[in-house]
């Protein structure tokens, strides 16, 4: 009985590896060097599939993977239907924020009830945030280089993930509102949890132990 773990390349993959290592599991190939999208591990019954970060919940929901690691930002956009989320892994931490050009009077625009154009790929979360505040916005969906939107006049503001803030600063943008803190969660296919209960429970427990050991 093979268990499939869905991960995305980059920060989530890099920060999940030490957690797997604490459980005695090693991924046997480097995704940066290998062209393979399915990687073997030191456990014959466990393999890792590499997918886009935004696709992890979909793979897990529809059984392409038994479990996966996905950011809270991705799960909110996906809405998490049919997914069991047993653990906040406390990795890939950052925050979701509203940012504007450093010469844009965001507080004034909100006070006056102006309609603000907001560029983001997190349309669900942004819509909810501004609705809760009673701010009128036009949302523009973008998939990358969010910082360009205010600089080119495409949008007044952006909603995006912020880690250190250095990219914003380099592009003369400032953070004006922190919407929420973001970290990555373990997500599990609910049907798999019944069919492969023992091995999946053992893996979930191993992740839980790794989280408990984190400083």
Sheet holding 3-7, edge to edge: 38-40, 46-50, 3-7, 67-71, 184-189, 83-88
CATH of the structural domain 3-92+183-213, one choice from 3.40.190.10, 3.40.50.300, 3.90.120.10, 3.40.50.2020: 3.40.190.10
41-96 per-position pLDDT tens digit: 999 999 999 999 999 999 999 999 999 999 999 999 997 777 999 999 999 999 99
| pLDDT level of residue 31 (50, 70, 90 thresholds) | confident
132-189 per-position pLDDT tens digit: 999 999 999 999 899 999 999 999 999 999 999 999 999 999 999 999 999 999 999 9
**What CATH number labels 94-181?**
3.40.190.10
| pLDDT level of residue 106 (50, 70, 90 thresholds) | very high
pTM > 0.85: yes or no: yes
Residue 81's pLDDT is: 74
Q: Which residues contact 107 (CB under 8 A, 6 or more apart)?
A: 176
Mean per-residue pLDDT for 203-215? 89
* Interhelix angle 11-22/197-213, nearest 10 degrees: 100
Task: Please give the structure tokens belonging to residue 174.
Answer: 């400032």
Sheet holding 94-101, edge to edge: 137-141, 116-120, 157-162, 94-101, 173-182
Q: Which residues contact 123 (CB under 8 A, 6 or more apart)?
A: 77, 139, 141
Domain ranges of the chain: 3-92+183-213, 94-181
Q: How many C-beta atoms surround the C-beta of residue 44 within 10 A?
A: 8
| pLDDT level of residue 213 (50, 70, 90 thresholds) | confident
Handedness of CA 55, 60, 65, 71 (dihedral sign): positive
């Amino acid at each position: 009985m093979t268990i499939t773990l869905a991960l995305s390349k980059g920060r989530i993959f890099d920060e999940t590896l030490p957690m797997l290592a604490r459980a005695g599991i090693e991924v046997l190939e480097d995704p940066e060097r290998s062209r393979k999208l399915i990687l073997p591990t030191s456990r014959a019954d466990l393999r890792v599939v590499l997918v886009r970060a935004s696709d992890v919940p979909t793979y897990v929901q529809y059984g392409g993977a038994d479990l996966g690691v996905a950011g809270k930002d991705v799960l909110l956009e996906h809405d998490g239907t049919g997914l069991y989320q047993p653990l906040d892994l406390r990795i890939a931490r950052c925050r979701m924020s509203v940012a504007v050009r450093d010469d844009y009077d965001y507080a004034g625009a909100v006070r006056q009830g102006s309609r603000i154009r907001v560029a983001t790929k997190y349309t669900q979360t942004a819509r909810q945030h501004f609705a809760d505040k009673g701010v009128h916005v036009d949302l523009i969906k973008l998939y990358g280089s969010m910082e360009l939107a205010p600089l080119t006049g495409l949008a007044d503001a952006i909603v995006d993930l912020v880690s250190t803030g250095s990219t914003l600063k380099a592009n003369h943008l400032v953070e004006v509102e922190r919407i929420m803190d973001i970290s990555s969660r373990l997500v599990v296919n609910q049907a798999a949890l019944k069919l492969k209960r023992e091995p999946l429970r053992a893996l979930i427990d191993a992740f839980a132990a790794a989280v408990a050991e984190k400083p």
